[in-house]
Structure formats: C-alpha cells, structure tokens
Chains A and B, each alone.
Chain A
Amino acid sequence: MYKNFYLLVSLLFLCQFALQSSAQDVNLSSKKINEKFKNFSCPEKVYIHTDRDFYIAGENMFFKSYISGFTSDEKQIQSNIIYLVLRDEKSNIETLITYLKNGSSSGHIYLPDTLKTGKYELVAFTNFMRNFDESCYFKKNFLIVNRFDKTLPTLQFNDTLNIEQSANLVTNKKTNVGALEIILIKDSFKTRENIKIGLKLKTEGKTAAIANLSVTVKEANFLFDNNFDIVNLLNENKNSVIDIKKKKTNDTIIDFYPLERNGIYLRGKIKDKTNQQIKNECLVLSSPDSIANFQYTFSDAVGNFQFLVNNYYLGKEVYIKPLHNQISNPDRSISIEDKFTLKESLNPAFKVLPKYFYNYITYSQQIVYIQKSYPDSNAVNNREWTFDKIIIPRAYFSPYLNYNTKDYIQLNDFNDIVTNIIMRTKLEKVKNTNELFVFDPNAKEYRTTPAIIFVDGVPIDNADKILSFSSDDVDKIALCLNSRILGNLELNGLVSINTKKNKLSSIVFNSPVIKYKLDRIADNSVFKPTNYSTTKIPKYAPDFRQLLYWNPNVSINNNETANVDFFASDCVSDYVVEVKGILTDGTPICAYAKIKVYR
C-alpha cells in the first residue's frame, strides 16, 4: 500500500519536474515575456516617502523614493528610473523622472500657487511595472488647499471623526517597526529650542546591514493614517495580472516594457495617411545643439519603434523624424507614447473630512501666508542631477574640413557658399529637390548618394531648406567626406551647419517630425532647515514652520546611532517624527515618535 503511495508521489514529482523543465527551457524572447508574467504579481515595488500629507499651494512637497528589486538569474536587479505623476481628479499636474542611486532618490515638487483646493494623488511607477496592471503602482492621496480659498467649497466636512479618535491613530503608531529605534531624551521642547533625536539600528543576523533612511518631523494633523507604511507596501504581494490585450505578431517590437537601468525607453509609431504602418523606416532622434548629434532606430513590421534614449537628451526638446525624406510617401505621421498616461482614475481615500480639520486648514493657510512673506520661507537647496558618464551621440568627432564664414566675403545664398567656400561638395537637383553631394576621397569621385545635412545639430530633409542661407546666417560649417559608420548605419558624407540666429526653428520639414520634450528630471534638492545657532533671526520675526525637519539622506550602520538635530519653530503644537527606509538587503524599516513644542 505504502509502496504504491510513494510510487504515485514520485510520479507526481517527476511530472511536475518535467513541466517545470519545459517551462524553463522556453527561449525567453521578449515576445514571450508577457505570457511569462501572466498570473504573477509585480515583483518590483516602489514607495515614496513624503515630508507631509497635507499642503498649501505654494509649498514644496519633498519626497524620497525607494524601490525593492527582485532576483533574476541569481542577481538582485531593479529599475533605476521612477516616473512620478502628481494629478488631480481631471489631469496630470506635474510629471517627473527620478533617477535612483543605490535603490533610492530624493527631490521636491513645487506645488504652484495656482493649484485649486482639492484631492490630489501622487503616483509612482517604473517602466517594468507597466507590464502589470496599475494596482501595483504606488499611489498616495493628498489634500492641497489654495492659500486664498477662504470658503473651501469643494471640500465636505462632517463630524463623524473627532479629533481624539484621529489623534489615537497617530499615538498607536508610536511603536517602532522592525530594527529601527527613535531615541528621545525628552518629548517636550520650547519654541526655537534645539531638538536632538537619536536613531538606532539593531538588526539581528545582519551585522553588515546599513540603513538608508529619510526623516521627517511634521506637525501632527491627525488626518490621514491609512496604514500607508513602507513595511506594508514593499512587502505586500498583490495579485496583479498582466494586461495581455496587446496584439502580438512575430515581427513586432515586443509588447513588453523593459527594465530601465541605463536610460529611458521611448516608444512611438510611424504610419501613413491611410493608417498603414511603415516598416523598416530609419528614424532619428536629435536635439538642437552646436554638435551634430542623433540616435537612430528602425520601425518594425507594424510601424512601432523604440529608442533607448541617451541621458544627454534628458530635459531637452528632441526632434524625432525619418532619416531619409521619402518623396514617394510624404503623408506620414509619427506619434510618441505618453508614459505618464494612467488608465485608472483618481480614487480619493477620503471623501469627507472631519469638521475640526476646517480650522486646521484655515490656520495652515495663514501660516503659509506669513511664511511666504519672509525670504527664508522657500527652504530648498536645488542640486541639479549630473550624470557621471554620458556619451554624447555625436554624428562625427573629427571633421575632414572646417569652415568659418567670417573668414570669407559675404555671400548671398548657400549655392554661393558651396561654390566659393565648401570645397569638395556640389549641389544637384534630384527629383525636384536639391541635394548636397560630397566628394569621396577614396573613390576619387563624387558620391552618388546625398550627404546628410545637419542644421544646428539636427538632421534635415535635403538642401532645399538651406538654399536661402546667406553667409550672414551661417556661423560654421563642418564637412565629413568619409563614410561614417554608426552601428549598422552607413552615412555617405556629412555636412553640419551651425547658424547664427537659430535658423533650425524656421525650417519647415517635409518629412513627419515630432518635437518632444523629454520630461524633466527631479532635481536632487534638499530641505534647508532654520538654524538658530548659525543664523541670527530676531525674536519678532515669525517662524511658524509646520515642517521642522526633512532629511532624505540619513545612513546608519548596524548597532550604531545616528543623530539628527534641528530647531523647533514658533508653532506650538504636537509633531510626528517619522523615519522610513530600507536596509542594504532591501528590507523595509520604519519608526515613529511624537514630540510636543510649547511656549
């Protein structure tokens, strides 16, 4: 009996093992990945720690982003780019890209003075998370109130939750979660007193652990406490199912959003007037600059294309267009996918606010109004993101010849420039368009394919667009006679023209061109707390900061204590100390404490 039972179990095991092996043997081409991820939850999680949950328009929202990666091929991997969307119920207010270093990044979002009072949401996700449905995205609700909105007609207040009940929610959060401990010598401080807080990390079995933390000390408003903890969120395992409605054919660019570690993927589509997709079209991405630059890609069988955008283009306006102007097919159009479009609409966590909060809002409006009147109120130190290693995608490095038009007599048009200045080039009419041909020093004759012309760094259609350029318009001309090889692309000669008066903006392209501004990168800004020991601030100058401290970059080694110190403001109230972060192995940790400021 037992023998048969174990035989059956063995057979079951073998069957499962065989199935398992066949599953792993599948060649994981990008096309198969959608199927592979089907029915699995998103392994990547994002968490955003913000300095507060309630803002008055005109204030800064400071944030620190964390990511928990996953194991693949025995390596811990994660995205290095997070997309942030701040939206109201109707549209996106701000879209940002934040670059992670060692699994985290920090910055701030300025909330414009003109924002209307209402419910807002901060959504954060990675490109890889877009393979799954939006339930795996990080979403956090905020209340933002306009400073001049006195009647607050868009908000509803009710007596259902009193201040004591709300306060209990915060008091209950005092317990330290995980291995982090907040050490307070005392919990009551006088206004403008120096407050010192110790943070101790004690993890068992992880002796080499280092905690990467963000610390906020904010006025307790007892409004939102929706168990929105880093520990809950980064550890949760929602069953999000991949959206596989997308069409899959053998020759299409993958319906898969890859992990972004070295740069941003930008997708688009090229089609003609009759909505027919254009395949194998060479498309270039270029930005106006004094250096001729571009990246290229080819469209697939259904007209989709994808660029891995060089970091050099971030924050710049780029031109995306076909490399060659096809006169036979002029009515083409290019569209670019907007990564920040969200399918799910904002679902506010709070519909009705407790009545006591009305007073808190009006009190906060007044505080911000006073703080805005003093120069130190915008406590932000901006630090621009700099990338350590950027290779500018230059079209060429060393030109064969360089010409500076100021060294020559004035010439009325580009034909004169070609005849009198640029040696080894000729203008010729080909199928009703003017093309520029360069001399091939190797074959010792003019090339039969036209040269690529760059104006202010961007490739243009043909020489028609530059015929009207006089020597007063042109600053410099660089000429490359040799064939330039860029990966698998061969360019038969290049002519790069730098104009004096940004002539590129006046060029009307025949080929479809899309100008696209690559979203700005969240700057690495830091909060600048008021320091009474170094700055002389008179007693009559008001300091009603509701945010006492925000530091997104606190690091502690295991069994060590880190100290943070700051000054209390004139705002007499209860404050919450909130510390969140991750350990080197990705384990989320957090701790809370409450302090009081009295007069």
Chain B
Amino acid sequence: MCVRGNSGTQAQAALGKVATHIRVVRDDGKVLLDEPKRLAVEVGKPLSSEAIAASIKTLYQTGDYAYISAVAEPDGDGVSLIFKVKENLFINQVIINGLKPPPSDSSAIAAMQLSLGQTYRQSDIPEALNRLKDTLREEGLYQAKVKAEERANQATHQLDVIVQVDPGPRVLVEKVQLINGSEYRDADLLKLFRLKPGKELTAARLQSGTTRIRKFFEKKGHLSARVSLRRGDYNESTNTLPLNLEVTEGPRVLVAVTGAKFSKGNLRKLVPVYQEGSVDTDLLEEGKRNLRERLERDGYFDAKVEYEVNSKQMTSGRREWKGEVETITYKVDRGSRHKLLRIDFEGNRYFSTDLLRSRLTITPSALFVRPRFSRALLDADVLSMKNLYAANGFLSARVDGQVLDDYEKKTGDLVIRFVIDEGKQTLVSALAIEGDHSVSDDEIRGVVASLPGQPYSDINVATDRDNILALYFNEGFPNATFTWRVEPDTEHDVAEKTKGAEARKENDEPLETSKSYRIDRAEPMKLVYKIDEGAQIRVKTLLYAGYVHTRQRVIRREVKVKPGGPLREGDVVESQQKLYNLGIFNRVTIEPQNANGTDPEKDVVVLVEEAKRYTIAYGGGFEVQRLASTTDPTGGQIKAAPRGIFEISKENITGRADSLSLKIRGSTIQGRALLAYSAPNTFNNEKLSFQATAYIEKSQDINTFTQTRYEGNVQLTDRLSPRESLLFRYAFRKVTVSNLNIPSEEVPLFNQPTLVSQFSTTWFRDTRNNPADATTGSFNTADVGIADTAIGSSASFLRVYLQNSTYHPIGRNWSFARSLRIGILQPYRDTVSLTFPGQTTIPTPRIIPLPERFYAGGGTSLRGFALNQAGPRDSVTGFPVGGQALLIFNQELRFPMKLPFVGSSLGGALFYDGGNSFSQLSRVTFRWSPPAPIYRPAYPGFKPGPFNPAQCLYNCTNELNYFSHVVGFGLRYSTPVGPLRIDLGYELNRPEFVIPCKIRVAFCQQGTQLPKLQVFFNLGSSF
C-alpha cells in the first residue's frame, strides 16, 4: 500500500498536467509511433487517469502489442507520456521433424491448432504440444516425446515453431477382451477384428476392426448392433495396451415388401434403417414415404404403403442362429399404373408457358424417356414457381398444382395442371443507399437487382445484401454490415414508376409479349439500404514463408495481394489458385497477421508447403492391338503382349515451377521413351508457357517390320484468355523402318522412311461447357504449318487445318452437335503431289511424306470406315495412302434414355457423317461414287483362269475421290471422364477399288469393297 501510495502519489502528480509529447516506444527504446492518432490522450491537453486507461486499451486492441505500460516523464511544466510496449509475435510456420506416420505431418500440425497469423501467447505452445501428444497416443505412440523450439523473427514479428518428435515404439496390443453379447462365436468376431496380441496399434486399424464387425452384423440383419471399443491402461514396461471390445447384436431385422418388387439395392436406399443402423418409428415412416415416392415416380400414383413390425424368437435349428427376429413388412397396394400425358398451365401471363415448363422437375412421357412424377416433385415444382413469382414482385401469387386423373375418362391417363393466380406486381419506386463512402454509388447499383422500376421482393433484397457485402469484403472491408428498410411509396404515380419494368419486359425473355396484356401493379416500395463500412484493412507488408527450393520471385509473381493496397478477398483466392496451379505446392495459406486486431494495416503472410519434387510411377499390364496386315489391305491381325511402364519426374527443378519428366513404356510389340520439359511463365509473362519434348518410339503397326520414330519439338503457348490460346511450335521428326520381313519394295508407302522439319502455329478457342461431353458452346481451331527442304525436311509443303464444332441444347436433355473439319496440304517448289497411279520410275518425285497426309475414318471421324481407311489408296497394293485435302462433316443428335439397371446414365445418338480424304484440293467433290474399275482377262478371248488372270482396264487408279455418306446409331453411357460410346456406322455409298488377287497369281487384280458396317467402342466424345 505504501509503494502503491508512493508511486500513486507520483502518478497523481503527473495527472492533470498538460501532455507535451506522446510516444509509443518499444522495450528496446525504439520509437514506434510519435504522436499517435486516435487515442484519448492528446498533446496539449491535461492528462487524466481515464484517458490514459482508454488509450492503453485502444493500443492493445490494435493487436500489435503484448504488453503496455504508460509512463509519465516531467517535461518543463507538463509531462511527456510514453507508452512502453512489448510487441506481439504471430505464429508462422509449424514444422514437425522426426514423426513416423501415422499420423502424417499435416495431421499432427492440424492437431496442434496453431494457425498462421495467430497471436502468440506463451501458453499456446504447451497446450499445442499436449494436443499433439493426445493425437500421437491415439495412433499408438504412447512413449512419444515432443519438444518445441520457438524461433522468433523480431523484424517480421513472426514465430516459427519447430517440433521435434521422438515417436518411440508404437504400442502393441496386449490382449483383446471381448464381451460378446451376440450369438456369434468369439473366434469369428475376433477374426473380423484382426488386431491380435502383439500387433502394432493405430487408430485406423482400430477403426477398420470395429467397422468390419459392424458391417458383419449389418449383413446378418442386426441393424441396431453396437460395437464399442475401449482402451485399457497402458503398460509402460511392456509397451502394451489391452483392448476391451464390447459387442451387442440386438434383434435381427428383416425388411420385406409385399405387393411390389424392389431390388435389394433399392430397398437399402429407400428404407433408412439400413443407413442409420437402428429401427424407430421415424425411420420406418421415412421408409414408407420413400417407397411411396418411388412407386409414384414409376407411375403408381395411387400407391398405398403401410408397414407392420413383428418380433419372434428363433430357437429351432441346431446350427442356425438363435435369437430375436424383428420383421418389418411394408405392405404395398400399388393400384393401377398411370401415364403422365402432359402438363398444362393456366393463368400465367407474366411468364411464358415454355419458361415455366423448362423449370419443372416433373416430366411427361416421351420417346425413350420415362415420365418423372410424384407428389413430392409436384409440391417442389409448385413451391419453385411461387418463389419465381415472388422474386419478380408478385408477392401474393398463388399456384395450385392439380392432378387430373383418368383424363377424358381414359383410365390411368394423368394430366397435371398448374393453375396460377399471379396477383399484383410490386415494384421498387426508389432506392436510396446510405453510408457508402469508399465504394461509389454506381458501383453498388451495378450489383443490385432492386433498382427503381424493378420487381420488389425479399429474395431480391437478400441477394442485394449478399452482393453488396461481397463487394465490400472484396474491397478490404471485412466488418461491413448491411441493414435495410422498406416502406410503401404513396406519393408516386404507379404507372409512371412502372415504365422501367415495361422497358425491362421488352428485353426479358420470360415475359409474355402480348400487347393486350397489362400487369396489375400494387403500391410500389421505397427501399433504403444502409451500409456500415467499418475500417478498410490494408496490406502493410507481404511476408513469404515455407519455400525451400522455389525462388521467392516465382511466388511473388503469382500473388495478387499488393502492399499498400486493400486486402481483397478475391485477390487472396486468386493468388492461392495461381500458386496451386503451378503444381509445386501441397498447401498455400494466405492470412493476415493479427487478424482480430483493430490495426487496419496488416502484414500478410503467404505460407507455402512445397510438394515432393520427385515422382516415380511404374506399372505393368497387358496390351492387345489389332495390327494392320501388309498382305490384305482390308484385313488385320490381333496381337497381345505384356507391357511395362516407368515414369520419373522432377518438379520445380530450377525453382521456377518447371518440371522434367521421363516416361518409358514398353512391350514386345512397341516401346516409347519420352523426355519432356515444361516451364510456366516464360519470359516472366504469366500467359506464356514453354514445353519441349523429345521421344523415340518403336512400333509395329504392321507385323512384317518395325518402325522407329525420333521426334523433338519445342512449343510456346500463349494463353490469350481462359478459353483461347495460341501455340507456336517447331517439330522435327524422323521415321525409319527396320527388321524387314519382306522385300523393301513391298513395304507400303505408308511406312516409308520420312524426315519432317516443320514450323507451325495453332489457334484454338474452346467455349464448350464440358470438353469431355459438351452440350453447349463451340470449339474452333486453326492450324497453319510449313515444312521446307531448306530446313531439313524431306519435302516442302504448306499445311492448313481448320475445325469448327458447335453444340446446341434442345430442351433440357437433348442436344445437337455438329462439326466441320477442313484440311489442305499444298506442296511447293521441289515437291509435287502424289499421282495416281504413283510414279515408280527413277528418279522418283519428291512428295509429301505419307504420315503427314490427311486420313479419314474411325470413331471420331467418318464412322462408316475403320481407322484411317477412307480416301485414296495405293493403286498397286490397295493400302490407304491418305490425301492432300480433307473435308468432314459430322452431325449428331444426342438424347437421353432411361432403361432398367442403368437408370438415366444411358443416352442415345443418331448421327450422319459425310466427307472424305481427297487426293488434292482441286479434286474435292460431292459426287456419290467414283467410277467403278473395269476388268478384263489378260488374254481376251481365252477362258479366264490362273493362266489368264483378270486385269483392271479402266478406272484403276484407286484415287477414290467421292463424298461418302455414313449414317448410324450410338449408345452413350456417361462416366466421369466422358461418355463410353458404342457407335454403329453404315456407309451408304461404298466404292469399289482394285487390289491384287487374294489367290497369288502374277498380274491378277480384283475389285473389293470395305465392310458396310463398322462398330466402334470409344471413351470420350466423338467430336
């Protein structure tokens, strides 16, 4: 009391005197703030106890200081006031060393609950270590020792916590004490539990052990079985832990349905006693509702479902289970089946019938489509329609969903009629915005729906609130609040105020356009939105942490949050996305330090966790290929071989988020080794990326020789927009043949050695909603390339390829897709077009290498041909040689189908493919068929036979320039990676072409045709 009185007396003496100077000083004497603002104490004013206390509290609330004392120092007639402070530290990285998973490092860090940017308190670390120890014990690490080292960085106020874990041995199971409250044998249950004495214990093992027993009981029908596990007392000397496993089986529950058939799987989905693992009235009632709903959907609209529960003791049978059996029997009276003929609307004037219909969940019967209807779906549609009207200002709209059964006295026919009473529309007459100082009025009005002349509704106001607050949050106002009030506007003329709505009506698709229709208006409303912005949080400094190999500027480049600017939520999310997109970080956290402090200037920490740099993958398999035949131009041979794959990649090799990977794939049929390098943000431009690839491929497309392909290419990708890119590429490839099993002159032209050195540019724009299975949008691409002998190519030619595909939804589930592909190859200078028949005299002309030519046919091209089988063929052998021009049209009508077992995942398609690969651009034609070959015996006048073979006399070139027409039907089964397709194509105009006779006779030729029908199994969309 004496000292307090003493110091109190001195303090009292200081109070009342004028403050001459006010400073905030760190414990080491550094002045942090001189004449700080927004404090209760002010220079030139007398000091008071209340003002000093208030100032300390204000300073503390900034979150910047851990401790504050106010010290007065005589200064002439007044006093100088010093707030002596100790600055806060904030949690930065938490690193765990020495842990033996489980738990993983990230689980252990999460268990510690030390968040990035959190204010550090001395008690935090011991508490966090205790939580970590609990987690380690959960995982069986009872002897784990943990200690934490705190590394503070006073300059950035960050504190790293490095936790050293000595996990010790994992605890072993001592014994499993089973309290078996079931009729099943102990040994059987313990076998399911799997954790035997002496085995290491982990949380996952305990969990899966109990789950297995629970599932066993579930399978046996004991839906309310209980399996509980308690850990006994840990024995430190033996490092063992006893386990107490308690099992009660409860009655065996059987669920039966009479009067209707439900598959076992469906019953498990519909009757929730299976999922909940218990039986009570609520669950049984829910099961009853679900079964009725399902029957209604199947057209049994009058279905009645009741249930009864019976219990009995099973005692008979020597080896059978004995105990209580509870049978739940759902008794179904399906009634007659109904057919939902159509859906009618009455009384809708504001919204068109088409618009209302498009929003329904119920659907009438249609071709390949089963009706979708139930009472619950009808109620949901009625509610959705009411909400639609309410959102458009029809606050008193009424919608009645009527079910007209036995329509027009036809038993089972059902018509749904929605009778709508729209009522009056309420509009907004005026909108006032108050309290918006930092965001302009226009900007706010840009995100608001309730503008003057627009419909008034609570739903719109709620949306406006969300949009306005999102706008503020994104401008760095996390504490912005929104309130609103509304009152009827009795002063304004309704007609005048509704001019805006009429104007909107003209532009708004859903509105009815009938001129005779006049909307009934209710009294308009005046709206006032009041915004309390709160303080804007700004970024003081950006701090980076957690990176080891990555260069800081790579991280900095992706971070959109800028020092000095507002802390925008959108920038934070975008920065995180961009950093994740680099593919080198497992986790990216961006948090302000001192998030809860009132100091509006925040240091923002970008903490990254680098992913592992090396990835190794390997695997084996079996491959089956249909190899083309060298002897039969229309035939092939199936060959199978074991296959091995090995991949190794190193990410972030130079710290620039670049990667290098080596992929090797090999089998006895073919092999491939590929080395690829890719680097994002080329030339420090986030839109540019660089890729380089080199590979060697050895393949055996034809079973008489081996083809080796060497290819290297470099590519620069310019991402013009999220949907549009430009690619610049240089490619060099060399293809050679080896291991010939036939004379080299018989190697088809298709596989002659080639050398291509080519520069090309590709532009593409993709607006498809789902590239794997698009229903709307478009895909356009243009590719222009040039290969020249001057740069090492074996031929000089220009290559142009264009594609335009569009996708159009029809109604809700149908869609139409079409595509046009055009390709042009133009030889120049020393290179000429391939002639038909080909020139065989030496010197042979320089032609465009066959692998570079355009081919057509296959599951994604012309579906009336096998892969690459359309277009010109070699006049001697009959093999396809590709063309210098390509024209392909594809049209496809896609529709849903509903069949038993597969549900709505199955769809169908009707398609038409037209076009071909043509020998030259000038030979592109739409003619139905090329002239048919005409044959005659080698020695006219003599009887045809082995010594007088048939020979082609006219039209023998196999140039086959014609426009093929293919129609077909396909099935689609949707999978997460695109549709699984089966397409059946039929070519309407098969031409005949010339091949050597199948019976080997010199100079003998015969005509042949490709098969009429082609079947394709593919994964992914056709185009």
Q: Do A and B come from one complex?
A: no
Interface residues, chain B, with chain A CB atoms under 8 Å away: none
Interface residues, chain A, with chain B CB atoms under 8 Å away: none
